[in-house]
Structure 1
Amino acid sequence: MNQPSQAALTDAAYKGAALDVDKDFYGSIARSLDERTLVDSFEIPIRSGQGWKVPAGHVCRLRTVDGPQVGDLNIWNFDNPRERFWAARTRQLQAAHVTTFDRLWSNLPFLRPLATITADTLEDYGVDGDGGRVHDTLGTRCDPYVNRMLTGEDFDYHCHSNLTRAVRPFGLTEFDVHDVLNVFQCTGLNNNDQYFMKACPAKVGDYFELFAEQDLLMALSTCPGGDLSVPMWGEGAHDPIEVCRPIGIEVYKLEDRLLSGWTPPELPEYAGGHGLHAQAWS
């Protein structure tokens, strides 16, 4: 009997209802701007962070206020922050760079969508001549530990530190800060399979919009590298504060009609035995 190829098995694993997205449902949310009510709005200043709640069934928009600026986003289940954004699995199930109709998945043992992307004004950026794309799950947040290792200096306003301060009002700590979605950031892999970053292509008024599949706690850091047009390490590096800008946050409540038929995602069906009570293979 012919055995299926590994490629065939991989293709089969990535098909089915679990990964299907109702584009009509989410597309309607993005288009029906007159059927939403603004319930929260604020700006996150440069080199800082802030956390906020997004109730299930609401939409959250991140927008560039004064021009290009990278933001490092963390997401948790509001009522149980042990459930949080899982960048690596999102990268495998969706893409290394996410856009409209991609979902942001949570960690084990929860493994369900936290949010679904409903709108992205940078969607048409596509792939540039260097292989760069926007909104990446490849890299992680900048942090003071790597900075100290590379420069010998302390700096307290890297994204890891900004997020640490942002979540303190919600009872969370540095240990709850996790790998991020780099919103508005342009990145890729070079010919040596090394991660690279480019200047942010966003313009004033660009936005990235998420539909909350659960009650969520979100936190965003306005990266101290600003639009990343100035190197922070190595040759030519200097403090890029002149290219740092705020990011605006808006939360919208949707009209009931738009949510018709929608229910929050269920937990996985796996029973959770992990073979702990089974006999070992002989």
Structure 2
Amino acid sequence: MTESKQNSWCGRHDKPREFAKHQPIICYDKPASALVSKEEYDNKRYEALTGELVETLVVPKREARTWTMLTGDLCRITVHEGSQVGDVNFWNLDNRQERFYSGKTRQLHGAHLRVYDRLWSCLPYLRPMATFVFDTLAQYGIDEDGGALHDVIGTRCDDYTYKLITGQERVGSCHSSLVKAVVEERGMTEQDVHDVWNIFMCTGFTRDTEQYFCKPSPAQKGDFIEFIADMNLLVALSACPQGDVSIPVGVQVPDEKCHPLKVEIFRKK
């Protein structure tokens, strides 16, 4: 490009460009199948909780465990010792090719799930796997920084990203814990582990740089969430080695910041 042409081209950009203003448009308006009858799911919750407690397990801190659910079962996950976040994976128990799709769940509901939102499966299936039915932290809402709980923004902490940040090798993440659990307990592989539902985690995006941020989880001993299985499920949960996520990835997390999570499965009689 000649100097005169270059100067002429640059001249067109001397003044700030003006862009037309538009109101936000919700790209994915909720289909009927994303809207549940609150009365129906409240009844399902009641029937399960007044039925039988069919399984109880504790996911140790910095580890992961798996369990199964039948359609209609209710799962309660409790912060039963101290503030702690968890990463959850879901598969169709009868067809493990069908698994949780965090991105589509985010599009159909929002970046953070609320009670009566649903967790959706991957393509080509695209159907509800579970429905969120109770949350002791529901009043937290969206805070002054745009932070909220239980995100489906997508990822889980992993040792590959840790190495990018620190240059150090490590085995000690939600990803590695989930891999260990599904390999040892279910005969699966690393490739079966996928993006997660981040429960009890307070996250958002900064307004100036739109970077993913976290805050210490507001979950305290005794807080819990519940969801109902909309199909037969295999579920895996990692008690995140970041604990309450008050310390950024790449910085050493003291062991006392981490706690186990309790899982209970209830079934209608």
1:157 to 2:160 alignment:
no
SS in 2 for 1:30: helix
In the alignment, the residues of structure 2 paired with residue 99 and residue 16 of structure 1 have an alpha-carbon distance, to the nearest angstrom, of 17
- Greater displacement, 88-97 / 148-157: 148-157
1:176 to 2:186 alignment:
no
C-alpha RMSD of the superposition: 1.9
Letter in 2 for 1:215: N
Question: Which residue number corresponds to residue 243 of structure 1?
Answer: 257
- May I ask how many residue pairs the two structures share in their alignment? 246
SS in 2 for 1:101: coil
CA contact (8 A) 2:88 2:196 kept: yes
Question: Which residue number corresponds to residue 267 of structure 1?
Answer: none
CA contact (8 A) 2:88 2:199 kept: yes
Question: Which residue number corresponds to residue 212 of structure 1?
Answer: 229
Question: Which residue number corresponds to residue 127 of structure 1?
Answer: 142
Question: Which residue number corresponds to residue 261 of structure 1?
Answer: none
Which one of the candidate residues 227, 230, 244 is aligned to 2:247? Answer: 230
CA contact (8 A) 1:230 1:240 kept: no
Deviation at 1:9, TM superposition (A): 8.7
CA contact (8 A) 2:87 2:199 kept: yes
Deviation at 1:171, TM superposition (A): 2.0
Gaps of 5+ in 2: 1-21
Question: Which residue number corresponds to residue 91 of structure 1?
Answer: 106
In the alignment, the residues of structure 2 paired with residue 79 and residue 181 of structure 1 have an alpha-carbon distance, to the nearest angstrom, of 21
In the alignment, the residues of structure 2 paired with residue 142 and residue 10 of structure 1 have an alpha-carbon distance, to the nearest angstrom, of 30
1:198 to 2:212 alignment:
no
In the alignment, the residues of structure 2 paired with residue 85 and residue 197 of structure 1 have an alpha-carbon distance, to the nearest angstrom, of 23
Matched-pair identity in %? 44
Gaps of 5+ in 1: 1-5, 256-282
Letter in 2 for 1:223: C
Larger CA Rg, structure 1 vs 2: 2
CA contact (8 A) 1:143 1:159 kept: yes
CA deviations over 1:242-272 (Å, ceiling 9, x no partner): 21000000000024xxxxxxxxxxxxxxxxx
CA contact (8 A) 1:106 1:113 kept: yes
Question: Which residue number corresponds to residue 50 of structure 1?
Answer: 65
In the alignment, the residues of structure 2 paired with residue 95 and residue 201 of structure 1 have an alpha-carbon distance, to the nearest angstrom, of 20
CA contact (8 A) 1:73 1:183 kept: yes
SS in 2 for 1:83: strand
CA contact (8 A) 2:45 2:228 kept: no
TM-score by structure 2 length? Answer: 0.86
In the alignment, the residues of structure 1 paired with residue 65 and residue 258 of structure 2 have an alpha-carbon distance, to the nearest angstrom, of 16
SS in 2 for 1:175: helix
Question: Which residue number corresponds to residue 18 of structure 2?
Answer: none
Letter in 2 for 1:214: M
Question: Which residue number corresponds to residue 129 of structure 2?
Answer: 114
- Greater displacement, 38-47 / 19-28: 19-28
TM-score by structure 1 length? Answer: 0.83
Deviation at 1:139, TM superposition (A): 4.2
Question: Which residue number corresponds to residue 203 of structure 2?
Answer: 187
Letter in 1 for 2:218: P
Letter in 1 for 2:80: V
Change beyond 3 A, Cα 1:199–1:26:
same
- Greater displacement, 58-67 / 146-155: 146-155
